[in-house]
Chain A
Amino acid sequence: GQQVMQIPQYQHVQEGEDFTTYCNSSTTLSNIQWYKQRPGGHPVFLIQLVKSGEVKKQKRLTFQFGEAKKNSSLHITATQTTDVGTYFCAGRTSGTYKYIFGTGTRLKVLA
């Protein structure tokens, strides 16, 4: 079945450093969504990518969708303590409304 892996599993950075998490699917995706879950909270939608090679930016966050639509990345520039949380990608394949969530990357920012 479809699998979505994320690396790294954990990342500790000093405040101000950059951070990147990578998402890899075993199958070609129709679209991919990114979510952030703060400790003790529920996942909150960040962004969606649909087109091959698409790049989207939200302030310090940059999201990319691979040319083959099987991988994606989230890059945070100059991390802040408010960036702490777990970042999940969620991919959907064509013909289904089901999203498979990645394993998540837990980010800790040290002040």
Chain B
Amino acid sequence: GAGVSQSPSNKVTEKGKDVELRCDPISGHTALYWYRQSLGQGLEFLIYFQGNSAPDKSGLPSDRFSAERTGGSVSTLTIQRTQQEDSAVYLCASSLVSGTSNQPQHFGDGTRLSIL
């Protein structure tokens, strides 16, 4: 596809369950970001991947959150033992990376996660 693809688009699960969110970036984009957006709020940085470099995990809110990126392409964000405060829209973005990394981010439509 031409854009960033995220799945599922909606996920409803019970508190305590694990969830896995998927992001398929634009082909050729080596940078990949995960953000979290609560209702009516701004975007909270979670994690950043760039090529084969170690990811920047400084935004992950707790050790229940983890992410990986396989083969420099598809990424999965995993939330273990979900809590109600994890309810939010999880957005993925990808971008090209130049020497200065001043490249626009292209966002997917997000996964709306609801924890019952």
Contact = CB atoms under 8 A, between A and B. Distances in A.
Contacts of A35: 105
A98 interface: yes
A97 B35 contact: no
Interface in B77-116: 91, 93, 97, 100-102, 104-110
Given A48-B102, A48-B104, A88-B42, A99 B33 contact: yes
B42 A102 contact: yes
Contacts of B33: 99
Sort chain A's interface into a size bin: 20 to 34
Sort chain B's interface into a size bin: 20 to 34
- The secondary-structure label for the interface of chain A is strand
B105 A99 contact: yes
B45 A101 contact: yes
Nearest to A42: B107
Interface in A52-107: 88, 90, 92, 96-104, 106
B58 interface: yes
Interface of B: 31, 33, 35, 40-45, 48, 50, 56, 58-59, 91, 93, 97, 100-102, 104-110
Interface of A: 30-31, 33, 35, 41-45, 48, 50, 88, 90, 92, 96-104, 106
